[in-house]
Every structure is written in structure tokens, then in C-alpha cells.
Structure 1
Amino acid sequence: MSFAIGLRFYRIAVRKKGQKEPLDIGPGSNPCDLLDYIEDFVARKTEPTDEGDAFRTWFFEPRDTNSIRTVHGYISYGTHGFESKFKDVKTKKPKYQRQSTDLEEIPLYFQFWVPSDAKYALVAFQSFQGRSCVSFVQGAITSDFQKRHPDYLLTFRVLAPSNAVSDVAPVKAVTFLKPKEFSDRADRSWLGKKIEELSYEVTVRARKRGAIIGTFKELEKLLPANGSGFVEFEGAAYESVRADVKIGKKRRVIGVFGSGGDAGLIDITENVKKDKSGHPTFESLTAEVDSLMETFFDGIKT
């Protein structure tokens, strides 16, 4: 069974309060070398942080790295506060009754890269089956930075796919997801099941070998610029769109439109190796992120 493994990239900048221009973040910079701050923040967050009413916990598990000015590892992300049944996927027989006090933890890869001669850093966060703790980590680090440096702000900005994809990159397939709710109640069923119970999508794919639907730039022109609303195809409206497009040296599926979690997400499910736990190996995740980091950097450094 294939599980969706995604990556989302952010651009981090530091600026002085009341000013718009980003500051240098390398050695000798004010208020600090951002790499030193991030290493310290990660080291201080290796014990579980409980998000209280959200029933979530997270903490860093940093790993050694051979890359220059890089901090990476896992974020151990946990959920609790509800009961559920665990069954054997083959026999369907019950194996365990999860209690509301049980904490389920999954490993999510992260990587910070702080170039010494730039005005921004890049960070990548992994998601697994739609689960991510980006908002918690982002909130914690921005708040902590301001407490330590009251006159400065640390900001995150989502990197759009256009930062990593060439305008002329060929699009092999486009998938429309999350159809708009039907207005006629009679249409809200399929094979006797309520449409709300189903998850479905429509994919348009170039049939011939070497053929393409169009270029990435052409696709972007067809989508609403603000990422909200709906996209129409064949008389139906959809909330999000993904494209099979070349990023760097590989073809990947990316979210190019949507108000939810799909926009900006790069699906690397087919590009990573998985161990017996069902999670991607650390080495394959690192290789994917390293490659994409360079592609993003080349796309936004000017």
C-alpha cells in the first residue's frame, strides 16, 4: 500500500521591526548567525512539547550531517486524546484498542539550510498521510526568536512550486481533486454509498510516449492567481489541482492550486525508499531534500 509522503519548503528571513528589507543571516550578522540560533533552538526542543488542547506533541531528534551549514533530523510528532481500534490489515481481526491516553508518534523529516552569504534560509518539512506539525514548529520558533531578540522578527514564507519549476517544464499529467459539493442531493451517491464517504479524483494524462499536456507556465495561466475558489474541468468544479512535472532532474507530483494542504506540496512517495515500518528511510529523504533545496535556491536567489 502506497502512502502519500510530501515535502513543503519555506523561505526564512530576519528583519528589524519596522523595516521591510531582510538582513544578512550568516556569521557576524545582527542579531546573530541564524545557524547558531537554529542549532540552539533544535537542541532545546528535544523534549516533548505538548500543544495542550490540540492533543499534539512534538520534539526534535537531530542527526549528524555532512552538509555545510545544515541542521536536519526527525521531528517526532504525536497525537493523543481519542480512542480507536487497531485491526490486522489482512485478517481484519481486532488486535488492540487504543485508549485516549495513548500517544501515537510518527517520524517526520526536517532540514534547515542557512547559506553564509544570503539574506534567507531554506527549510523543508515532511508530511505523512496528510499529517504535519509545521504550524506548531513555525509558531514556536518565531515566538522564541522574538523573545531572544525583541527588536527583530523571524518570518516564514511558503515557497511556491514556480520557484522550483521552469516555465517551460513539460507537464505529463494533471489531477483534479476535491470536487465541489453537489447541489442536487440525488447526485450525492455512487454505488449506494454517500459521496461524502468517498475520496475520488480525475486525472488527465498524455497518452503517447514522450507526449505532454503542455508546459508548466501554460498550466499556471489557467489557474486562479490567489489559490482560492474552484477550478472547472468538464463541467465540474474542483478545489485543488496537482501536476506531474519535472523538478530538477526528476519528475514529481506537485500541488499547484488549492486552498487546503495540497498547494505547494511536493509528493515524493515514489522517489523514496521505505523500510519495514512503512516510513521512508532517512537516507532517501535526505537525498530528495538536498536535491530540491538546490533547485529552490537556484530559482529564488536572484
Structure 2
Amino acid sequence: MSFTIGLRFYRISIRKKGEKTPLEMGAGCTPCDFLDYVSDFVARRIEPTVEVATQRTWFFEPIATPSIRVVHGYINYGTHGFESKFKDVRTRKQKYKREATDLEEIPLYFQMWAPSASKYALMAFQSFQGRSCINYVRSAMIADFANRYPDFQLSFIIVAPSSSFLADAPVKSVTFMKPRVGSDRFDRVLGKQMDEVDYEVTVRAKRRGGMISSYKDLGKLVGPGDNGFVFFDGHSYEGVKADVKIGGKRRVVGVYGSGMDAGLIDVSENVKRDGSGHPTLHSIQTEVDSLMEDFYGSIHT
């Protein structure tokens, strides 16, 4: 099951084509101050971009901030092209029908932080119930940057799985998600037919202060899989998530597999939600700010 509200962080760098060394990204730098570039890119994408092949749309809704070197706001992400029924959650009666031409749009928080004297910037993207427009935005930014500065290239590297400061972080529990088994197995156990089953196996440290392993040693618990699956104790699972201590807080991080996006940090229990069911701006921004500082402290050199 995908995290309800997740955050993914990317380390962004600029390199001259054919060279490996990242360039400074602040004011007066070549080819640009990256903050100015992102501010301009966001301003040029406030009208919907339509991804025709996948029937998706997205556009920025920037929010002014007194913080220096930060661009943030919402990416409004929409889907269309299919019908569905909307029912009352209590009565189960249909309230209305969504047509294929209806656009369902959700707000996803984003933040870009570009310190003034650094070779790296950080960008955070929110996901909601597995829905995310990260790949669309990232691809559009890379292509736009290459068009504007043809002698340079922009790169995005996901932070969490490869971050060195997480290497020795204690892992309190590991959960293996959705084994590859038929539903008839659960039908026999429960004595009735099941349409859908979520099944997880959790390995947890027994002592209060104990740990399963360090983050860097998680691979020793999991065998190599096929087609995105992983193996544990003779069974194949779709994904693995770990309870890891990050920056003084325990957080759940997606680690391996197809059923869980690697590097996605679960903040579902850490944010407040408004009446729409989406996180409030203050609560999601607070989570991003905290994690930004933790990650940047380990990668800025």
C-alpha cells in the first residue's frame, strides 16, 4: 500500500557537458543563479501543461515566502480520460458519475531550496495516495534547462536511498509488503471469499532501545528478487519499508521493490489535514523544512 502522504527529495546539480564536477549555483554563477532559473520556470508553468499520452495535467501555484533562497507552493496535478462512480462513504449510494472528460485535480506541495554558496540545491515533492507528478516536472525542467543553456546539464539524484548521513541510522523495524500469493490462500484461512487482501510481515526490534540493523545494512536482510520483487524468509514481496531514525524523529522510508517507491518518506502521521483531507500548508512545510536541513547537512560538501 502506498503512503497516504509521502515526500521525496532530490539533490540537484549543474555540470558542464562532458565534465563531472558540479558547478556553484548561487548569484553570479555560470550559467545562472539556479534560484532565478527555478523562479522563472515556475512562473512560466502556471497554466496547465497537458501530458497527452497519459491524460494528465499539471501546473504550478507558487506561494510568496519571506525566506531567502526558497521557491515553494503547490503543483496542481490532474487526471482524466476514464469514468468512475462517486458514492457516499457511509450509505454506499452513488452521488454522481465522473465522466471521461472530467478532470480530477489534487494539490501537491513542492519546495526548492538553493543555498547561496553551494554546488547543490534540494527539491522536495509531495505525493498523495501514490499519486505524483514528479517525473513530469523533472523531465520538463531538465529539457527546459538544456534548451536555455545548451552547454550545461541539470541532474536530479534522489536523496534518501543514497544519503550518507542515513548510513548508520538505526532501523527499528522492517515491513515486507504484499507477498506474491493467491487470494485463495486467504479464502481458506478466513473461511470466506476475499476480493482484496493487504498482507504485511513486520520484523521489529524486541528491546525498546534495540535495532534491527543500520540503514546501510538493510540489504543483508533482503535477497535479490525478480521483476521488482524482493525475497525474505523464502517468500517474495512487492516492497519493503523501514522505520528509521532521521534527524531525531522516527520516520518510515520506502526501501526496495515495486510496491513501495524507494526513497519515499512517509509523513502521514506527522502532518495536519484540513477539511479536504490534504495536509495544511504549515504542517507539510514544517516537515519539508526539517528534512531539508537534515539532508543538506550531509551532502553540501
Same fold (TM over 0.5): yes
User: What one-letter code is carried by the residue in structure 1 that aligns with 2:132?
Assistant: S
Q: Report the counterpart of residue 78 of structure 1 in structure 2.
A: 78
Shift of 1:20: 1.7
Partner in structure 1 of residue 143 of structure 2: 143
Q: How far apart in 1 are the matches of 2:279 and 2:11?
A: 24
Query: 2: distance between equivalents of 1:61 and 1:162?
Result: 30
1:246–1:252 Cα contact (<8 Å) kept: yes
Deviations 1:66-103 (A, max 9, x none): 32201000000000010000000011010010000100
Once the two structures are aligned, what percentage of the paired residues are identical? 61
Indicate how the Cα distance of structure 1 residues 50 and 92 shifts in structure 2: closer, same or farther if over 3 A, else same.
same
* 1:138 counterpart SS class: helix
- Relative distance call for 1:186 and 1:97 in structure 2 (3 A) is closer
| Secondary structure of the structure 2 residue equivalent to 1:119 | coil
Match of 1:12 in 2: 12
> Where do 5+ consecutive residues of structure 1 fail to align?
none
Structure 1-normalised TM-score?
A: 0.90
Please list, as runs of the form range in 1=range in 2, the aligned pairs for 1:57-68 lying within 5 A after superposition: 57-68=57-68
Structure 1 residue aligned with 2:239? 240
**Is the aligned partner of 1:283 residue 2:278?**
no
Q: Say which is worse superposed, 63-72 or 4-13, in terms of deviation.
A: 63-72
Q: How does 1:116-127 map to 2 (within 5 A)?
A: 116-127=116-127
Indicate the residue corresponding to 1:102 in structure 2: 102
Q: d(CA) in 1 for partners of 2:164 and 2:243?
A: 14
Matches within 5 A, 1:37-186: 37-163=37-163, 165-180=165-180
For residues 109 and 17 of structure 1, what CA distance do their matches in structure 2 show? Answer: 31
- 2:199 aligned partner: 200
Classify the secondary structure of the residue corresponding to 2:217.
Answer: helix
Deviation at 1:40, TM superposition (A): 0.3
Superposed CA offset, 1:135-167 (max 9, x none) = 110111111111111111111111134517543
AA of the residue aligned to 1:13 = S
* Deviations 1:177-207 (CA, angstroms, capped at 9, x unpaired): 132356xx96585545468x43322122234
Shift of 1:218: 3.3
Please give the alpha-carbon distance, in whole angstroms, between the structure 1 residues aligned to 2:296 and 2:120. Answer: 10
Does 1:257 find its partner at 2:256? yes
**Aligned partner of residue 174 in structure 1, secondary structure:** strand
Separation in structure 1 between the aligned mates of residue 217 and residue 146 of structure 2, nearest angstrom: 41
**Pair 1:13–1:3, CA change in 2 (3 A):** closer
Quote the offset at 1:112 in angstroms.
0.5
Residues 3/254 of structure 1: CA separation in 2 closer, same or farther (3 Å cut): closer
CA deviation vs aligned residue, 1:207-264 (integer Å, no higher than 9, x gap):
4544433333332443469997543323212232111111102111001222455211
Looking at structure 2, the residues matched to 231 and 27 of structure 1 have their Cα atoms a distance apart, in angstroms, of 45
The TM-score with structure 2 as length reference comes to 0.91
The 3 A distance-change label for structure 1 pair 204 and 289 is same
Secondary structure class of the residue paired with 1:175: strand
**Corresponding residue of 2:293:** 294
Secondary structure at the residue paired with 1:7?
strand
User: Partners in 2 of 1:221 and 1:236 — Cα distance?
Assistant: 15
Structure 1 counterpart SS, 2:275:
coil
How far apart, in 1, do the equivalents of 2:69 and 2:226 lie?
34
CA contact (8 A) 1:173 1:244 kept: yes
SS at structure 2 position matched to 1:276: coil
Which stretch of the first structure deviates more once superposed, 251-260 or 262-271? 251-260
RMSD of aligned residue pairs (Cα, Å):
2.4
Cα offset for 1:300? 1.5
Partners of 1:13 and 1:272 lie apart in 2 by 29
Number of aligned residue pairs: 298
Residues in 2 aligned to 1:53 and 1:292: alpha-carbon distance in whole angstroms: 34
Q: What per-residue deviation string (whole Å, max 9, x for no partner) do you get for residues 1-53 of structure 1? A: x9710001111111111222111111111111111000000001001111012
Counterparts of 1:46 and 1:171, CA distance in 2: 41
What residue ranges of structure 2 are gaps of 5+ in the alignment? none
- Between 1:145-154 and 1:217-226, the stretch displaced more is 217-226
SS of the residue aligned with 1:269? coil
